[in-house]
Amino acid sequence: MKRVALWVTYEGTSFSGYQVQPNGRTVQEEIERAVSRIHKGEQIRIHSSGRTDTGVHARGQVVHFDSMLSIPAERWPKALNACLPDDIRIIEACYVASDFHARYHAVKKEYRYRVLLRQEGDVFRRNTSHHVPYHISVPRMQEAAQTLIGTHDFSSFCAANTSVVDKVRTLFTISIEQDRDELIFKLVGSGFLYNMVRIIVGTLLEIGSGKREVHELAFILSAKDRTHAGKTAPGTGLFLWKVDYNEPIFSELY
């Protein structure tokens, strides 16, 4: 029995999120179905670095599962992609230690959030960005964002309906870059609470538009209360970009 790790990408638009659920198509069930087909129908559970919500995309999701098959690592992507719908693609596979866990061994995660700043929407980016047709000040958001760096109780930036008790997380870096009509938010942290990136981005956009003041962010963070933060930005702009482990498991392309 060998443990296989996969670098998985998906366009989240047509999924009811990552995790298997009674209603709606999910990424997990599609990958489990493909893995099962390669194992002649045997049910095999796959484990991910974490779930993603409806409409949220992944450039660098990581999953693992155990297999009795002796398939060379470089053949797994092609074999699985032949059984997968075209909005999920496996980019790389590798064999990992038998105690590797995609979720519990993750030491760092990067999320990116894409905002489209233009008058009218873009048909080619409508499912992979959040369209904002009014003026946003990037320097205001950059100034406010610095407040969030470090280890904090991020309760104000966590969906109210979560069961997680410990809401302390470490945000290593947060940057906001403009490239023509696009804003890219990059957040790297030890881990993220439910909706944390989307609530941070939603609140920063309210600061950027002038609806809130720059200094409000420190107050919101210290309040430890979701009701003080801004709106949750839509899932369409969010990408799970990269998951890091103590040792790199994929090629340098990852």
Indicate whether 98 belongs to the interface with a copy of itself (CB under 8 A): no
Query: What dihedral do alpha carbons 116, 121, 126, 128 form, nearest 10°?
Result: 0
Q: Looking at beta carbons only, is 14 or 222 nearer to a copy of itself? A: 14
Q: Looking at beta carbons only, is 126 or 211 nearer to a copy of itself? A: 126
Smallest gap from Cβ 82 to a copy of itself, in A, equals 11
Indicate whether 14 belongs to the interface with a copy of itself (CB under 8 A): no
Integer Cα distance of 72 and 208 in angstroms: 50
Indicate whether 153 belongs to the interface with a copy of itself (CB under 8 A): no
Q: Give the contact letters, 106-125, x = binds to a copy of itself (CB under 8 A), - = no.
A: -------------xxxxxx-
Q: Is 53 a catalytic residue?
A: yes
Smallest gap from Cβ 237 to a copy of itself, in A, equals 13
CA-to-CA dists, residue 186 to 137, 157, 206, 241, angstroms: 17, 16, 18, 9
Indicate whether 57 belongs to the interface with a copy of itself (CB under 8 A): yes
Which residue in 36, 81, 162, 190 binds a copy of itself (CB under 8 A)? 81
Indicate whether 89 belongs to the interface with a copy of itself (CB under 8 A): yes
Task: Say if CB 194 and CB 155 are below 8 A apart.
Answer: no
Smallest gap from Cβ 205 to a copy of itself, in A, equals 20
Task: Say if CB 52 and CB 18 are below 8 A apart.
Answer: yes
Judge whether 111 is annotated as a binding position.
Answer: yes
Indicate whether 182 belongs to the interface with a copy of itself (CB under 8 A): no
Binding footprint of a copy of itself, residue count (CB under 8 A): 21
In sign, the C-alpha dihedral spanning 79, 44, 1, 5 is: positive
- Interface residues toward a copy of itself, by CB under 8 A: 9-11, 57, 77-78, 81, 86-91, 119-124, 126, 128
The residues assigned a catalytic role are 53
